[in-house]
Structure 1
Amino acid sequence: MSTLTHDTRPTGRAAADDMAVAAFVMGLVGLVVFNLVLGPCALVLGGLALARRTTRRGRAALGMALGAADLVVLATLVTANGTVAWNFG
């Protein structure tokens, strides 16, 4: 009896397309919550997707732009009252 196994992980361009979508989603969500973590992740994933020649170049670039905007929002919120303040509650 023979069993066939199929690897369902995306490879090549499909993986790069998934990275572009993930960068866009992370950048978008990062504008509201967890911008310290999601912003840099969006930048990295968008850059990797572009380096791997994704077919979704616009989405990868928008993910990187949103990742940068996440960091700008973070910097604005941290320095909103003229001093650097970081509070968790």
Structure 2
Amino acid sequence: MELTATTDTPQRRPGVRDADGMAVASFVLGLLGLLVLNIVLGPIAIALAGAALWRGTQRRGRALLGLGLGVADLIVLATLVQSGGVWSFGG
């Protein structure tokens, strides 16, 4: 009697699972950054999305959305600083 484990799922490279998690995290942080802490969450979302795309994530669309939302966070920040809204640096 032979005891072997068989899996129906295809084998994936070790870093792809981490890249998938980074893609989802970039999307969530980019979305959250539109509401609060865009000065911090925007660049983090951009960095995570870039790393996920570089590692070859299976969730490419989610990583691209995270990248776009991270950029949108920085645009919202620049708009608020320019209009003297919530964020105003200097006097």
TM class by shorter chain equals: 0.7 to 0.9
Which structure has greater helix proportion? 2
1:16 and 2:19 aligned: yes
% identical aligned pairs? 59
Query: Higher Cα Rg: structure 1 or 2?
Result: 2
Q: CA RMSD in A?
A: 1.6
Amino acid at match of 1:34: L
For structure 1, which runs of at least 5 residues remain unmatched after alignment?
1-10
Of 29, 33, 45 in structure 1, the residue corresponding to residue 32 of structure 2 is: 29
For structure 2, which runs of at least 5 residues remain unmatched after alignment?
1-13
> TM-score, normalization: structure 1?
0.79
Runs of 4+ in 1 over 6 A off after TM superposition: none
Displacement of 1:50 in angstroms is 0.2
Q: Partner residue of 2:71?
A: 68
Q: For residues 12-46 of structure 1, what are the alpha-carbon distances to aligned partners after superposition, in whole Å with 9 as ceiling and x for unaligned?
A: 11100000000000000000100000000000000
